[in-house]
Structure 1
């Protein structure tokens, strides 16, 4: 039966046939940051549970989350928050019908990525210099 099919419509293009561009990356990053936020919520819930379980449980959890890997997770969570926030604002403009021109979409895509990187760096520079005692 498959041999009898004579459909001349174009097939859906595979991802490898597309030229990589920044708006494609921002779409993928938005989905990835949403997943990171979902997973990061479990870290926050774990912190809240540790608080309710007493001082010993909290100190253990604080030791884990304060480890180098824990700090990396926190920095990644902060980056996901900042990126998802910036790209969400970008999507709000799209919902209003603004910003669809390819050149402008590319500019706002780069602005979103740069904002997320700079905002994450500023937040963690503040935390590491003002809040954390070494």
Structure 2
């Protein structure tokens, strides 16, 4: 463990002296790392988790409208049945499917499978594409069955 001054009077800012006097390199940041699909899948999983929090609020508002009677419920379903409301519900369905597929990917990794770089990349692509396909198929089924119409 080096307690000497920064290596070669470092002018790059890549090293820092810790409070205990040890010289350590700074951790690399996004500018340093090469972008790869597992990174994108991880970020997407976090974003969809946040979107699902918003979705939980919308479900709560739906239940609240149901509790306040037929007029409140009709107003809520009028808003959420509009093209903009359907786009919001589709986005939440997409977030749910992507988050679920990402969770399955993590479950596979937690079991100790698919950890090689090639397999991890393939699982990441499969979770992102599969989640999107499931969401689109679900909404296609809703439209073709006549349960939802624009």
TM-score normalised according to structure 2 size:
0.82
Distance apart, 1:10 and its partner CA:
2.2
> Residues of 2 paired with 1:133 and 1:72: CA distance?
12
Query: Aligned residue for 1:29?
Result: 44
Query: Aligned residue for 1:132?
Result: 148
Query: Aligned residue for 1:45?
Result: 60
- Rate the CA distance shift 1:11–1:64 in 2: closer, same or farther, 3 A: same
Q: Specify the SS of the correspondent of 2:31.
A: helix
Query: Aligned residue for 1:63?
Result: 78
> Residues of 1 paired with 2:42 and 2:148: CA distance?
34
How do residues 1-12 of structure 1 correspond to structure 2 at under 5 angstroms?
A: 6=6, 7=17, 8-12=23-27
> Residues of 1 paired with 2:48 and 2:95: CA distance?
5
Is 1:20 the equivalent of 2:35? Answer: yes
For structure 1, list consecutive stretches of 5 or more residues without a partner in the other structure: none
Query: Greater RCO between the two (CA within 8 Å, min separation 6)?
Result: 1
Distance apart, 1:21 and its partner CA:
0.9
- Rate the CA distance shift 1:50–1:5 in 2: closer, same or farther, 3 A: farther
Q: Cα deviation per residue 1:22-78 (whole Å; 9 max; x = unaligned)?
A: 100000000001101111001111111111111100010001111222111101110
**Which structure carries more helix by proportion?**
1
Query: Aligned residue for 1:86?
Result: 101
Distance apart, 1:133 and its partner CA:
4.6
> Residues of 2 paired with 1:75 and 1:5: CA distance?
57
After superposition, the CA RMSD in angstroms is 1.5
